[in-house]
Amino acid sequence: MSLRLEKLKTFHGRKGPLLLIIMDGVGIGKESDNNAVYLAKKPVLDKLMSSELKTKLKAHGPAVGMPSEDDMGNSEVGHNALGAGRVFAQGAALVNIAIESGSLFKSKTWKTVLGIGKSGKTVHLIGLLSDGNVHSNIKHLFAMIQNCADEGVEHVRLHILLDGRDVGEKSALNYVYPTEELLRKISEEKGYDYKIASGGGRMNVTMDRYNADWSIVKRGWDAHVLGIGRKFASATEAVTTFYNEDPKMTDQYMDSFVIVNNDKEPIGKIVDGDAVIFYNFRGDRAIEISRAFEEKNLEMFDRQRVPDVFFCGMMEYDGDLHIPKNYLVTPPEIDCTVSEYLCSEKVPSFAISETQKFGHVTYFWNGNRSGYIDESLETYIEIPSDKITFDKAPKMKAYEITEEAIKLLKTGKYKFGRLNFANGDMVGHTGDMQAAITAIETVDECVGKLLEVIKELDGIALVTADHGNADEMFTVKGGVKSPKTSHTLNPVPFIIYDPSYKGEYKMAEVKNAGLSNVASTILNLLGYKKVDDYDESLVNAE
């Protein structure tokens, strides 16, 4: 498909490159003692925020395709919006529609699952047990469980991943209790066999991403499939035992566990002929476990036994590699991304981040598309992330990303570049205030170094974020302080750093401006008109 851009008549961009800097997880929150962004010493960002070329962007709710204003944004939908230039229904919204309309339960994939279940085999559901609405929603799980019961599936097993990240850090029992009660009620009323079979914390079991640490997937495989893990009589017993043994234990880092019967035998091993649903709708932490079930010659870890099952995901997590082969809800078709337009115009670009966010500046930015759009014009660089908890290394790989970006900028080859500093998000998720402050100060220092190079090259830098996180590190309720490890509903900054600026354009007054307005702004500042179906630009340059 040929995508053409028209040149602006009045502004042709700068001689140097345009660099988009995404400070992941850096929102604009209240100036209070729970805000690591506010508390951090950040002279560069403070100076940028005093510029006339700045605004705030919405990064949550309908502004990024989520169902309501109560739904926080995330890095995936955020980068989708940044790269796509308009908003697409995302994740939870798509699944909500599929469940409410009944289309999920009419799909060929779901009917296959039911057929297996009604034949006497077990239907297994694996996923994040919370209502965080970032990776999953317990309402979706309950709807599928109820449909299985209504359709006559007698054997269901749940393999639950505890959150503590998008919800309260020790809130697992708020979800385990009602889940156990629903399973008990169905089992008693219908004479069925519905139980929780295994589980563990999301950052320690099953939900790895970007090939960062496959041992996480192995622990999940061992528990869910092989029945290997610490043994308990129930999920409630597992969670309360871990809490009692280590008062500092939080849900996301909990060890794997397996539920056993009176003979100490696992009650929910996955075996030949079963059906397995991974019910998370977000793709990044679903791809590796999907590969473990689907790839015959996976070499990432020893699976010991690979059951012949029907596996499906809530969604297709990778549209190019078709992972998984079967899925329940069709993802949004995001076409005509800003990088597709730039490649069509032969504009050379680069994308760089560390492992934790590399997929965001490539796959998600490109509309859920793997690989290059045009390898002759694009350079993608991934800096391997540390394999330790990020509160222990809050500087992460910000310096390395900065060094590589500066090298690329100084080649003079690239007209556009984008990078992501993961610190504010990944360290913010740990709930460690001092670590988060260090993370923000590190990013601020690195942004400063990049701006020096942009000035030297007579370029422009755009500084923004994909959602908030470190801007709200704890909450206080009833006088009790609780760490907040989830994303926030706060807006994010958008700043144009243009050392050669002489009033050639002005900030536009865009109502309810959000991340999707950035793509048109990129085009304008490169000297092109905005695309007709893109959301408004944040500048008046046409």
- How distant, in Å, are the alpha carbons of 132, 382, 391, 470 from that of 394? 24, 18, 5, 12
Contact 293, 324 (CB under 8 A): yes
Would you state the structure tokens that stand for residue 337, as one six-digit string? 């991304």
> Strand, coil or helix: what is 342?
helix
How far apart are alpha carbons 23 and 374 in whole angstroms?
A: 26
User: Amino acid letter at 105?
Assistant: F
Active-site positions? 75
**DSSP string spanning 18-75?**
EEEEEETB-----SSTT-HHHHS--HHHHHHTTSSSEEEEB-SGGGGT-SSTTS---H
Would you state the structure tokens that stand for residue 436, as one six-digit string? 């988060």
Contact 327, 316 (CB under 8 A): yes
Other beta carbons within 10 angstroms of residue 450's beta carbon come to 24
The neighbouring-strand residues paired with 381 are 352
Q: Which of 474, 430, 386, 433 lies closest to 251 in space, CA to CA?
A: 430
Cα dihedral 263→264→270→272 (10° resolution)? -40
> Strand, coil or helix: what is 492?
strand
Q: Is-cis flag, bond preceding 43, omega within 30?
A: no
**H-only helix segments in 354-493:** 355-359, 398-410, 423-426, 433-456
Kindly calculate the radius of gyration of the chain based on its CA atoms and give it in whole angstroms: 24
Sheet holding 123-129, edge to edge: 230-232, 257-259, 193-201, 155-162, 123-129, 275-278, 310-315, 327-329
H-helix or E-strand containing 201? strand 193-201
Contact 339, 18 (CB under 8 A): no
How far apart are alpha carbons 282 and 94 in whole angstroms?
A: 11
How far apart are alpha carbons 116 and 267 in whole angstroms?
A: 19
Would you state the structure tokens that stand for residue 17, as one six-digit string? 């490159």
H-helix or E-strand containing 530? none
